Amino acid sequence: MKQAKFIFLLRLLFLVLWCAGVWGFLAWAGTFPSGSRSTAKAGGPRHLDWNVFFTRNLLHALPIANRFDYPLRPPDGAGAAIGKTFGPAAGNHAGEDWNTAAGDGDLGEPVYSPADGWVSLALDFQSAWGKVVLIDYRLSPGLQPAAVEMMFAHLQRIDVKPQTFVKRGEQIGTVGNADGVYQAHLHWEVRNRLGLGLGGAYSDDLAPWFAPSDFVAAHRGDNRTGAAAATKARRLPPAQWEQWGGD
């Protein structure tokens, strides 16, 4: 047990030092991560494709997330409700809006990490996004993509720190309303590319995103038991989305 803990702490230290060194170099070179690679003018710096860099250099240090649960009322979301859904039916919404009560009735509801992962961002943007947590998850070898990034937004409180590991079922924050911008709900996204940044919650091109509930249903791991793999959260009709809260 002591040896396993020592190895875990050593991996964590390596990851933190590596990230600090990379970001220090990028700051010195005047080059920062962006969502895509661009060719610089002769003699100028190149923009880093963070998704490629992370996959090649940092992904191996993350634990393998071989089982995913739902972020509200885990493991199967029983008692939760999905308001605004993912995709064209909701105006090209890039995520799902989750609730456990109408209006602000679920303000402060615990939000949990669906799997073992690494917190890449935990910050209060003091805007329509409010408090946001981004967590990167390494998928089982052979799966594509090799990793996904999940966004948990509009939080009332953040309970994790950036550049730290989290376990499946660990509380990462609580449901919020972006300081009163919306009625309380969890905006939840699953990205198949890392480094997309905040985004705008909607996109004409949804290729970099997965439907959150469908993704988790397909990656329940050792918790898969036929129909039980799907969420037990009920899906609200569009007429109730505004009443329950959403963006």
Q: What is the pLDDT along the chain (247 residues), one digit of tens a residue?
A: 556 655 655 565 556 555 555 444 444 333 334 343 333 344 444 556 777 887 788 888 899 998 999 999 999 999 999 999 999 999 999 999 999 999 999 999 999 999 999 999 999 998 899 999 999 999 988 888 999 999 999 999 999 999 999 999 999 999 999 989 999 999 999 999 988 889 999 999 999 999 999 999 999 875 544 444 677 888 998 888 888 877 7
Do the Cβ atoms of 189 and 200 come closer than 8 Å? no
Give CA–CA dist 123/143, Å, rounded. 30
The full DSSP string for the chain is -HHHHHHHHHHHHHHHHHHHHHHHHHHHHT--EESS--PPPTTSPPPEEHHHHHHHHTGGGSPB------SSSTTTTTT-EE-S-SBGGGTSBSSEEEESSSTTTTTT-EEE-SSSEEEEEEEE--STT-EEEEEEEEPPTT-SSSEEEEEEEEESEE-S-TTEEE-TT-EEEE-B-TTTTSSSBEEEEEESSS---S--SB-S--TTEE-HHHHHHTT-GGG--GGGGS--PEEPPGGGHHHH---
- What would the pLDDT profile of 71-110 be if each residue is shown by its tens digit? 999 999 999 999 999 999 999 999 999 999 999 999 999 9
pTM, 2 dp: 0.79
Q: 3.20.130.10, 2.70.70.10, 3.30.70.100, 2.60.40.10: which CATH number matches 81-244?
A: 2.70.70.10
Positive/negative CA dihedral, 136, 139, 145, 150: negative
Q: Are 98 and 233 in contact (CB under 8 A)?
A: yes
Domain spans of the chain, in order of start: 2-61, 81-244
